[in-house]
Amino acid sequence: MTQTADTVWKNCLLFIKDNIKPQAYKTWFEPIKPVKISKDILTIQVPSKFFFEWLEEHYIKLLRVALVRELGEKAKLVYDVKMENSYSSKKPHTVKFPSSNRKPFNSQGVTIPLDIDRRELKNPFVIPGIQKVKIESQLNPNYNFDSFIEGDSNRLARSAGMAVANKPGGTSFNPLLIYGGVGLGKTHLAQAIGVRIKDKYPEKTVLYISSEKFTQQYIDSVRGNTRNDFIHFYQMIDVLIVDDVQFLSGKSSTQDVFFHIFNHLHQNGKQVILTSDKAPVDMQDIEQRLLSRFKWGLSAELMPPDYETRILILQNKMFRDGVEIPDDIVEYIAKNIKTNVRELEGVLISLIAQASFNRKEFTIALTKQIVDKFVKNTKKEVSIDYIQKVVSKYFEMDVSTLQSKTRKRHIVQARQLAMFFAKRMTKASLASIGSQIGSRDHATVLHACKTVDNLAETDKSFRKYVDELTKKLTF
| Per-residue pLDDT tens digits for 307-348 | 888 888 888 888 877 778 888 888 888 888 877 777 877 888
Q: Are strands 94-98 and 206-210 parallel, antiparallel or unpaired?
A: unpaired
pLDDT value of position 170 = 86
Residue 93 vs residue 77, higher pLDDT: 77
Sheet containing strand 176-180, edge to edge, reads 206-210, 239-243, 271-276, 176-180, 298-302
Residue 119 vs residue 383, higher pLDDT: 383
Sheet containing strand 33-38, edge to edge, reads 33-38, 41-46, 76-82, 94-98
- C-alpha 467/C-alpha 453 separation (Å) is 12
CATH number for the domain formed by residue range(s) 5-98? 3.30.300.180
Q: Are strands 298-302 and 271-276 parallel, antiparallel or unpaired?
A: unpaired
CA distances (Å), 215 to each of 49, 138, 247, 249, 257, in order?
Answer: 21, 16, 9, 11, 10
pLDDT value of position 89 = 39
Topology match between the domains 5-98 and 384-474: no
pLDDT at 427 over 80: no
Residue 102 vs residue 20, higher pLDDT: 20
pLDDT value of position 94 = 58
Q: In this predicted model, what pLDDT tens digit does every residue of 274-317 receive, in sequence order?
A: 999 888 887 877 888 888 888 888 888 888 888 888 888 888 88
The domain ranges of the chain are: 5-98, 145-302, 307-377, 384-474
Q: In this predicted model, what pLDDT tens digit does every residue of 265-275 receive, in sequence order?
A: 988 889 999 99
The CATH class that applies to domain 307-377 reads mainly alpha
* Fold topology of 145-302: Rossmann fold (3.40.50)
Angle at 158 between CA 303 and CA 178, to 5 degrees: 60
pLDDT at 86 over 50: no
pLDDT value of position 125 = 63
- Mean pLDDT, rounded, for 422-449: 87
- C-alpha 134/C-alpha 148 separation (Å) is 29
pTM over cut 0.75:
no
pLDDT at 399 over 80: yes
Q: Are residues 109 and 121 in contact, defined by beta-carbon separation less than 8 angstroms?
A: no
pLDDT at 31 over 70: yes
- C-alpha 150/C-alpha 58 separation (Å) is 42
Beta bridge partners of 37: 42
**pLDDT band (50, 70, 90) for residue 115:** very low
Residue 414 vs residue 355, higher pLDDT: 414
CA distances (Å), 435 to each of 188, 422, 431, in order?
Answer: 31, 12, 6
Q: In this predicted model, what pLDDT tens digit does every residue of 150-176 receive, in sequence order?
A: 888 888 889 999 999 999 988 889 899
pLDDT value of position 358 = 67
pLDDT at 106 over 70: no
- DSSP symbols for 264-298: HHHHTT-EEEEEESS-GGG--S--HHHHHHHTSSE
432 CB neighbour count, 10 Å cutoff: 17
- C-alpha 362/C-alpha 364 separation (Å) is 7
* Fold topology of 384-474: Chromosomal Replication Initiator Protein Dnaa; Chain: A; (1.10.1750)
Q: In this predicted model, what pLDDT tens digit does every residue of 41-60 receive, in sequence order?
A: 899 998 877 778 788 878 88
pLDDT value of position 387 = 93
Q: In this predicted model, what pLDDT tens digit does every residue of 188-234 receive, in sequence order?
A: 999 999 999 999 998 888 999 999 899 989 988 888 888 888 888 89
- C-alpha 284/C-alpha 450 separation (Å) is 11
pLDDT at 133 over 50: no
- For the chain, the average pLDDT equals 81
**pLDDT band (50, 70, 90) for residue 251:** confident
Residue 367 vs residue 6, higher pLDDT: 6
